[in-house]
Amino acid sequence: MANLVFSDQEFQRIADLMYGAAGLSFNDSKKSLIHSRLAPRIQKMGFGSFADYIAMLEDESQAAEFQMAVDLLTTNETYFFREPKHYDLLQQELPQFANKAGLSVWSAASSFGDEAYSTAMLMTDLQTAGRIGPNWSILATDISHRVLLSAKEAVFPQDRLRAVTPERLRRYCLRGEGPSEGQVLLQDKIRQRVQFGQLNLCKPFGGLGPFDVIFLRNVLIYFDPPTKVDVVDRVLSLLKPGGLFFLGTAEGRVPCKTPLQTVIPGAFRKAA
């Protein structure tokens, strides 16, 4: 791959693109890493230069390829059914929340939609089994317009679905062939259950909720301590009393003033 030139200017374009759209930060020391991760993909697609590939990534209609590039440049930090014990807890608890008003779930830092679509698969299973009714909804929000465009397309690199059971893959997914080999498209019955919207958690927001379940996993790392408290309490104001709140297991204690009870690591119940 040494014959594929990667200039400082091209590195900066990719770094700016990844930071602006997905919050990924690459300093100058990461230039060789980006070259080694993307060069094979660029040559496989038949591009003769980094500049041509970057132009493709900057085209918002190429959201699926942008997501592929993000995957190549990260260690797959987001994937379907991440932290499976959280979904086991949901499977136990959601039927208890079910009522005539329906069930509402908010994925508050949804990224490419892995979390929201995983929840949609679980809730569709529960509905099929008669454990919850059909009146449920999932809202997925993120600050990045580009990430949301990709999420709405619901096309994912196959590895991102490695924790999805074979039964769910058959019921809810279509495997790509030919040029789309290695990618998976979610079926409409899952895509249609998730509503996406752009939202900055650091600014006041209204007109949402209340929710039975809120995910706020693996996003607080980007905020300073006072902002963390402000964001978490604002988000929790939209959680119904007794509702479930999820952080990433490795994030530890919840930075907030709202009374919460720990259920399992990373999962909390709002005081009634």
Catalytic residue numbers read 37, 142
pLDDT above 60 for 207: yes
* DSSP output for 96-162: HH--TT-EEEEETT-TTSHHHHHHHHHHHHHHHTTSS-S-EEEEEEES-HHHHHHHHHTEEEGGGGT
Q: Helix, strand or coil for residue 213?
A: strand
Fold of the CATH domain 84-270: Rossmann fold (3.40.50)
Residue ranges per domain, the chain?
Answer: 8-73, 84-270
The CATH number of 8-73 is 1.10.155.10
pLDDT at 75: 53
Count CA atoms within 13 Å of residue 72 on its CB side. Answer: 17
* Per-residue pLDDT reduced to its tens digit, 241-265: 999 999 998 888 899 999 999 999 9
Average pLDDT over the chain, rounded to an integer: 90
Q: Extract the tokens encoding 244.
A: 């479930």
Q: Provide the whole-model pTM.
A: 0.76
Quickly tell me which residue has 């927001």 as its tokens: 205
* Per-residue pLDDT reduced to its tens digit, 17-34: 987 776 567 889 889 989
Please choose, from the candidates 137, 65, 123, the residue with its C-alpha nearest in 3D space to the C-alpha of residue 94.
123
- Confirm if 14 and 39 have CB atoms less than 8 A apart: no
Residue 217 is labelled as binding a ligand: yes
Higher pLDDT, 99 or 134: 134
pLDDT at 99: 65
Distance of CA 268 to the CA centre of its chain: 20
Residue 115 is labelled as binding a ligand: yes
Residue 76 is labelled as binding a ligand: yes
Q: Helix, strand or coil for residue 53?
A: helix
Residue 108's contacts (CB-CB under 8 Å, 6 or more residues apart) are 141, 199, 201, 214, 215, 216, 219, 235
Helix (H) or strand (E) run with residue 10 in it: helix 8-22
* Per-residue pLDDT reduced to its tens digit, 57-96: 999 888 888 878 876 886 546 899 999 999 999 999 999 8
pLDDT at 256: 94
Query: Using 50, 70 and 90 to split pLDDT, how confident is the model at 2?
Result: very low
Lowest-pLDDT choice from 61-70, 93-102, 224-233: 93-102
pLDDT at 223: 73
Q: Extract the tokens encoding 216.
A: 């706020």
Instruction: Give the rounded percent of residues in the chain with a pLDDT score beyond 70.
Output: 94
What separation, in Å, do the N-terminal and C-terminal C-alpha atoms of the chain show?
A: 59
Lowest-pLDDT choice from 105-109, 132-136, 217-221, 264-268: 217-221
* Per-residue pLDDT reduced to its tens digit, 154-163: 999 999 999 9
Residue 218 is labelled as binding a ligand: yes
